[in-house]
Amino acid sequence: MEIVDAIDLYNQYLLVEKGLSINTVESYLDDLKRFFMFFPDKKDTNDLSPYDLASFLEHQIKIGRRASSALRRLSSIRGFYTFLKRDGYYDGDIPEVDPPKKEKTLPNCLSVEEVDLLLSAPNMNSPSGIRDKAMLELMYASGLRVSELLSLEKKNVILNKGIIKVFGKGAKERKVPMGDFAEEYVVKYINEVRDLFNGKHSKYLFLNRSGKPISRIYFFKQIRKYASEVGITTPISPHTLRHCFATHMLEGGAELRAVQEMLGHTNIATTQIYTHISTKRIISAYDLFMNKK
């Protein structure tokens, strides 16, 4: 069968049998287009070889394609081979290729000054501003995951000891200190604001106006809004504050093992990524200082 006809059949299969969206199918077909641009002599399904994919992958990496993009293209093309094999248009082996390792991307991290600006952004004259202030302060002071912050129950905030009980991945419990600033604003929120949100009967600490837990989408939008208001241009998300907590703790001389425990990482290697960020920031500051001399 001619490649053009095979791609047309594959298109129908993706749309009708698999029920994929038009945009997804177009993405798959674009991957195939690039594959056959690399092999312009392949006009018929009989011309296909199980070794083609390895050559194509090598080319993708050579031209600087990111591993994640190359992996997506490999998946699309391998799916095409599998479809042809199933329907009897290709009698070779399904290509098996060792995938490239995905790049490790370091998370964005704000400076201490930028974090201070972000934490000062909420309007303390409004109930929602007081609540958001408490949430931001607590997340930064305790290094919480956004899911841990939003699911935090009021009973697990132990104000007389300044700690919170957090249930992280795998429902593993850990106790984390709040810090004086975070505790001050959490107390203010509980005493002055929380009941205004119909929160008397809710077990969750942070609530919206309907008395329900804050959603991830809302918190994400609020952080982006506050960052914009204070002139922070670095792309950030709620998780950025957790990254900042870890980085700033290590820059301040905290032991790696202690930061690991506070973050709730099972493997210390996960925490070690922040040592690379800290080193990079310190070197950058040193270079800047030397260039100004």
Q: Inform me whether the pLDDT recorded for 88 exceeds 80.
A: yes
Return the amino acid letter for 158. I
- CATH T-level fold of 3-86: DNA polymerase; domain 1 (1.10.150)
Residue 239 annotated to the active site:
yes
pLDDT band at 272 (very low <50, low <70, confident <90, very high): low
Write out the E strands in the chain: 157-158, 163-167, 173-177
Q: Inform me whether the pLDDT recorded for 290 exceeds 80.
A: no
Residue 90 annotated to the active site:
no
Residue 248 annotated to the active site:
no
Residue 201 annotated to the active site:
no
| Nearest by Cα to 136 from 115, 153, 156 | 115
Distances (CA, A) of 42 to 26, 33, 37, 80: 21, 12, 9, 14
Taken in order 135, 141, 145, 147, the sign of the CA dihedral is negative
- CATH T-level fold of 112-292: hpI Integrase; Chain A (1.10.443)
Check 145, 154, 174, 188 and give the catalytic one: 145
Per the CB < 8 A criterion, the answer to whether 148 and 196 are in contact is: no
Q: Inform me whether the pLDDT recorded for 104 exceeds 70.
A: no
Query: Domain residue spans in the chain?
Result: 3-86, 112-292
Residue 265 annotated to the active site:
yes
Write out the E strands in 70-226: 157-158, 163-167, 173-177
Q: What is the pLDDT of residues 2-17, one digit of tens each?
A: 999 999 999 999 998 8
Check 102, 169, 203, 225 and give the catalytic one: 169
Average pLDDT, integer, range 184-196 = 93
Check 239, 243, 286, 292 and give the catalytic one: 239
pLDDT band at 98 (very low <50, low <70, confident <90, very high): low
Check 133, 242, 243, 248 and give the catalytic one: 242
Check 85, 165, 188, 265 and give the catalytic one: 265
Residue 209 annotated to the active site:
no
